[in-house]
Structure 1
């Protein structure tokens, strides 16, 4: 009788340690169910933080942590979007303290008018004399075919003019916002000499482009010195940096704010 009881216990132990298959003759796990599974009560998993069993909360999902680790409960959220409405999808700001510097020799000899040269879609490489503000060159991502991208560029422009009290000495300059090295917005201005030495001014511009293709895009800003008058050929112009110590590079630094609004087409779920 003892031998029979021992045999039964041994067989039971082997069965408990073996893989069990339901509706399959070749189970691939300790419990392999080939078919529907109906649970009438609760599922509990080991919580490794305090070695207790956790049954999770309402609307949570079991998420695998990989082989050798117990799964954990996670909350699944789906953003609520109204159809045909734009939502802010991307929002970031960038800064640059290096800036760009121009002498008179950097000024291009423009054979065509500025109106003919500075046109939307012109490639950066074909605009002679433009220098890129490297810290503002960044990549953005677009996820929808319906989008609006806004760009706000701000910087300080300074020239090392002496104090002559006249407006005869001045420099024309231009700054452009580019997407994928194509011009989407340009502003031109003029910095004049005045009664104070080393004048500077704040430069602001806003650009907009609609319906960029899905994927990654490069955003960049570049500026050029386009005209000099009076004593200006002997003077230096800087954008996003100082020419003299009455300001410093912190004051003169450039910034670029980028906002991308989209009509969502893919409702990406968020797990936290």
Structure 2
């Protein structure tokens, strides 16, 4: 009887430590199921911090922590995408206090041919005496062939006009938004003298580009002094103060970039 019991306990120990296969004679883990698994109740994992069993909450998934560590429950924060709907994929904003300045001798030669020169898609190299605002030149990412990219540029235009100058004392200027050095949006403006000295105004423009190619693109903003009226000595500042009635903080430029896409490619979940 003693020998029989010893053999029985030895058999039970071997079976408890052996690998078990269901629909397979060569199990590759302690429990290897070759087929469907139907759980009728809860699935729990070990919390190694306090040795408790955790069954997770609604909407959570099991995530591996690597070999030798138990999996943990995680909340997957990925929105549900609907077909043919645009979603905000990229969003960033930039600022610049350096700006650009122009003297009376730095006017663009395109002032008299604006309609022919300021054409959408034209290369930046063809824009005479346009200066880029340094810190607004930035990369952004597009991941889908169906996208809409919005740009919002805001700055302050400043001059050192004297007070009570002639009513027709003014300066024409222009600012363009470029993607990969190609023009996507341009706005012209005019700053006039007033009863106060050192006139300034706020300039705001919004541009859009549709269906840019997938990959990294570069955004830049460039401005120019186009033409002066009854003043050649005044300095024009865009995104920078040229007199002390305002400072560089007030005059600074900002640019916001939003990329809306119809999602097409998703990163796979790997083991």
TM bucket, shorter chain = 0.7 to 0.9
Unaligned runs of at least 5 residues, structure 1: none
Superposition RMSD in Å: 3.2
Change (3 A) 1:150 1:3: same
2:193 aligns to what?
A: 193
The gaps in structure 2 that reach 5 residues or longer are: none
1:251 corresponds to: 250
**Equivalent position of 2:53 in the other structure:** 53
Which moved further from structure 2: 25-34 or 196-205? 25-34
CA distance in 1, matches of 2:114, 2:8: 97
Conserved 8 A contact 2:111-2:227: no
**Cα offset for 1:226?**
2.2
Structure 1 range deviating more: 45-54 or 18-27? 18-27
Structure 2 match to 1:113 = 113
Q: CA deviation at 1:184?
A: 0.8
Matched with 1:135 is: 135
Cα drift, residue 66 of structure 1: 1.4
Task: For residue 79 of structure 2, give the secondary structure of its aligned residue in structure 1.
Answer: coil
Deviations 1:216-265 (A, max 9, x none): 32222111122234332x33221111111110111111122333334444
Counterpart for residue 170 of structure 1: 170
Inter-CA distance 145–59: structure 2 relative to 1 (3 Å threshold)? same
Deviations along 1:98-124, whole A, 9 cap, x unmatched? 212223444333497111111100112
> Distance between the aligned counterparts of 1:77 and 1:225, measured in 2?
49
Question: Aligned-pair distance for 1:73?
Answer: 1.6
| CA distances 1:146-169 after superposition (whole Å, capped 9, x unpaired) | 333222211101112233521454
Write the deviation string for residues 32-61 of structure 1: whole angstroms up to 9, x where unpaired. Answer: 344443444432211234331112234432
Is 1:227 matched up with 2:231? no
Contact 1:171 1:227 in 2 (8 A): yes
Query: What number of residue pairs does the alignment pair up?
Result: 269
Q: CA deviation at 1:205?
A: 1.3
For the residues of structure 2 that align with 1:78 and 1:165, how far apart are their CA atoms?
Answer: 60
Instruction: Assess, with a 3 A threshold, how the Cα gap between structure 1 residues 80 and 43 changes in structure 2: closer, same or farther.
Output: closer
Report which stretch shifted further, 10-19 or 93-102: 10-19
User: Which shows bigger deviation, 131-140 or 148-157?
Assistant: 131-140
Task: Say if 2:240 is the partner of 1:241.
Answer: yes
TM-score (norm 1): 0.81
Following the alignment from structure 1 to structure 2, what is the Cα–Cα distance between the partners of residues 3 and 107? 108
Contact 1:79 1:267 in 2 (8 A): no
74-83 or 241-250, which moves further after superposition?
A: 74-83
Say yes or no: does 1:73 pair with 2:70: no
1:71-114 deviations in whole A, cap 9, x for unaligned?
Answer: 11233466344544444444443322221222344433349711
Deviates more, 1:166-175 or 1:150-159: 166-175
Task: Say if 2:212 is the partner of 1:212.
Answer: yes
1:149 equivalent to 2:164? Answer no
1:19, 1:31 within 8 Å by CA — same for their partners in 2? yes
